[in-house]
């Protein structure tokens, strides 16, 4: 047997959860059916086996009854550690399952094998790992969708089947996760230092290239200098910025750039250039703030949705007060087209847009997987921009209060007469803000948009204060 999860089932389950009126769903349980190759469209025939309490029902023909190794898996609320496991060879494995969470979790493998543990318990069982690897979830309703999905791969092969624990819920899309997609590249959220001097020559080269925007999902993005978002440009009020925009001949599309921090004629600096051309866009930073830049070539919606945006920080003369950590976070949406293609303009154009992913700095959940370290009790400044193209942000960091908000020219400062604070900053597309906060104790502080339907679609990160553990 192979461990492949029928993709139709994973997609169907997700779709049915997200769209409760989905009439196509005849599947009785949101767990992976035992593998039955070529059986899409049938209800999970052996659903009873999926729910069977027996922990060790392996039928491995290669090595009946004899284990070839052991695997340790930890469940917490709500995820698995590690989220991907590699073993040297296929065969029957002893599984030691530790639940360090507070509620019941299980390991439900794609072949129906199920191992349960209550909160704080450790149990054992066995699972047959086929040559193609095997995926598993927690079958407690809602847990897989919350991130309790993972896989065991056999060295030298890719995991089969739907997604992993990094991506949260699979997108409500007809685009399916590609198990062979390359891993994403972490975008450094550290805000860069202000550029020295008063005149800055900056080259922005448009690169059209594939990018993994969430585990298993590749978009042929259009970028400034190869990243989504493009580079953060940080200058001081009064500086002159000379941007040399280059569109290499190897590209297929005209592009342009529009700096919201500039005051220039649209039909002068912002005109499009063809592949093989370049132009100079010179502007002066007249006003301080957090500003958007983006490609404005028609249809601008497509060029922004496909990755052509970035942040400009203009500091006031004299600079900002020193803080312990500074980050730059750009919220944006992905509307997936077919794998490896540019995003779907049709989906992005919908009057009531439903993005597949909403992300910080281009990649779904990347700072959930790689928390941003901050010193406990220290001061943290975040430059935040909503690049859209179409969805608002209600930027919030769980467990903190913003004592400073500078949003679109309006300021809340720590010494205001009423001692007011802020819990969330509302940013429409193309709006930016500076927020400041402190993390009072060691622990994790989730970064979200408080439009919570999008948190499960990738708009989730973590600040990690100290060692991240409030108990020691």
Q: Which residues bind Cu ion (CB under 5 A)?
A: 255, 295, 297, 303, 308
Alpha helices in 19-68 (DSSP H): 47-50
Cα gap 381→433, rounded to integer Å: 10
Give the shortest CB-431-to-Cu ion separation in angstroms. Answer: 21
Give the shortest CB-108-to-Cu ion separation in angstroms. Answer: 45
Nearest to Cu ion of 78, 295 (CB atom): 295
Nearest to Cu ion of 68, 301 (CB atom): 301
Q: Are 425 and 394 in contact (CB under 8 A)?
A: yes
Q: Cβ of 252: how many Cβ atoms within 10 Å?
A: 9
Pairing of strands 233-236, 309-315: parallel
Nearest to Cu ion of 252, 322 (CB atom): 252
Cα gap 230→282, rounded to integer Å: 18
Give the shortest CB-329-to-Cu ion separation in angstroms. Answer: 22
Instruction: Tell me the residue ranges of DSSP E strands in 118-239.
Output: 122-129, 134-137, 149-154, 199-214, 217-224, 233-236
Indicate the helix (H) or strand (E) that contains 412: strand 410-412
Nearest to Cu ion of 106, 208 (CB atom): 208
Residue nearest to Cu ion (CB): 295
Nearest to Cu ion of 35, 258 (CB atom): 258
Indicate the helix (H) or strand (E) that contains 358: strand 357-360
Give the shortest CB-204-to-Cu ion separation in angstroms. Answer: 11
Nearest to Cu ion of 215, 389 (CB atom): 389
Give the shortest CB-307-to-Cu ion separation in angstroms. Answer: 9
Give the shortest CB-292-to-Cu ion separation in angstroms. Answer: 14
Nearest to Cu ion of 261, 295 (CB atom): 295
Cα gap 166→162, rounded to integer Å: 12
Structure-token pair, residue 418: 């009423």
Give the shortest CB-275-to-Cu ion separation in angstroms. Answer: 11
Structure-token pair, residue 439: 């993390």
Cα gap 203→225, rounded to integer Å: 8
Q: At 84, is the secondary structure helix, strand, or coil? A: strand
Cα gap 285→277, rounded to integer Å: 26
């Amino acid at each position: 047997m192979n461990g492949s999860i029928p993709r139709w089932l994973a997609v169907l389950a997700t779709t049915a959860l997200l769209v409760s009126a989905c009439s196509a769903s005849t599947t009785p349980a949101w767990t992976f059916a035992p593998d039955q190759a070529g059986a899409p469209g049938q209800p999970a025939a052996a659903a009873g086996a999926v729910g069977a309490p027996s922990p060790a029902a392996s039928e491995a023909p290669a090595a009946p009854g004899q284990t070839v190794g052991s695997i340790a898996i930890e469940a917490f609320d709500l995820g698995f550690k590690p989220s991907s496991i590699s073993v040297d060879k296929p065969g029957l494995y002893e599984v030691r399952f530790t639940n360090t969470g507070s509620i019941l979790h299980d390991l439900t493998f794609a072949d129906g094998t199920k191992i349960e543990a209550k909160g704080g318990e450790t149990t054992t069982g066995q699972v047959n790992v086929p040559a193609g690897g095997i995926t598993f979830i927690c079958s407690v309703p809602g847990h897989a969708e919350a991130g309790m999905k993972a896989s065991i791969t056999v060295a030298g092969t890719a995991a089969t089947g739907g997604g992993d624990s990094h991506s949260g819920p699979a997108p409500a899309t007809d685009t399916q996760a590609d198990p062979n997609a390359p891993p994403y590249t972490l975008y450094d959220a550290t805000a860069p230092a202000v550029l020295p001097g008063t005149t800055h020559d900056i080259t922005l080269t448009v690169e059209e290239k594939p990018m993994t925007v969430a585990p298993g999902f590749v978009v042929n993005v259009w970028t400034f200098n190869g990243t989504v978002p493009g580079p953060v440009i940080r200058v001081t009020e009064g500086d002159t910025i000379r941007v040399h925009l280059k569109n290499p001949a190897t590209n297929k599309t005209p592009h342009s750039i529009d700096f919201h921090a500039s005051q220039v004629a649209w039909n002068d600096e912002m005109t499009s250039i063809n592949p093989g051309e370049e132009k100079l866009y010179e502007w002066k930073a007249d006003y301080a703030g957090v500003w958007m830049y983006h490609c404005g070539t028609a249809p601008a919606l497509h060029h922004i949705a496909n990755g052509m945006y970035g942040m400009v920080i203009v500091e006031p003369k004299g600079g900002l007060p020193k803080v312990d950590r500074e980050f730059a976070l750009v919220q944006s949406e992905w509307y997936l087209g077919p794998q490896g293609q540019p995003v779907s303009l049709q989906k992005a154009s919908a009057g009531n847009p439903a993005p597949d992913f909403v992300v910080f700095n281009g990649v779904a959940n990347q700072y959930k997987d790689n928390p941003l370290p901050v010193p406990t009790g220290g001061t943290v400044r975040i430059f935040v921009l909503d690049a859209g193209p179409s969805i608002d942000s209600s930027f919030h960091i769980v467990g903190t209060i913003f004592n400073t908000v500078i949003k679109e020219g309006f300021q809340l400062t720590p010494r205001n007469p009423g001692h007011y604070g802020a819990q969330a900053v509302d940013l429409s597309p193309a709006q930016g803000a500076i927020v400041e906060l402190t993390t009072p104790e060691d622990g994790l502080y989730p970064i979200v948009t408080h439009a919570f339907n999008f948190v499960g679609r990738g708009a989730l990160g973590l600040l990690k204060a100290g060692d991240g553990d409030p108990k020691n």
